[in-house]
Amino acid sequence: MARPNLEGFGDIVSRLLALHRHKPGFQLALCQNAWRTLLGESGMLKTRKLILTDGTLTVFLRSDSLRHELRAQRERLLQGLREELKDQLEIKDLILK
């Protein structure tokens, strides 16, 4: 009996997701997941919205004190986003508002 040509689950999911990687909504969802990974749930609760335009991620925050603190760590956050999104999306700049 011939062995069936089996594909791994990860390969199937990757192939399905490849069709949507260029869509703005998918790219924004990738950014939201990366932001959540970097800041955690408490930081995500203080985030009002994220906008991705031409590789620039603009983050609108609810807290002035958090905005001030994150601006001091902007380069570290940008590097963390790039690391989280490597091979998926290129983030050129980070704007905190």
Domain boundaries, the chain: 24-96
Q: Name residues whose C-beta falls within 8 Å of residue 3's C-beta, 6 or more positions apart in sequence.
A: none
- CA dist., res. 97 & res. 35, Å (int): 15
Both tokens of residue 95?
């704007």
Helices (H), the chain: 9-18, 24-45, 64-72, 74-84
Contact 58, 87 (CB under 8 A): no
Q: What is the pLDDT along the chain (97 residues), one digit of tens a residue?
A: 677 777 787 777 777 767 667 788 899 999 999 999 999 999 999 999 999 999 999 999 999 999 999 999 999 999 999 999 998 899 999 999 9
- Cα–Cα nearest to 20, from 88, 87, 76, 85: 88
CATH of 24-96, one of 3.90.1200, 3.30.300, 1.10.287, 3.30.110: 3.30.300
pTM: 0.80
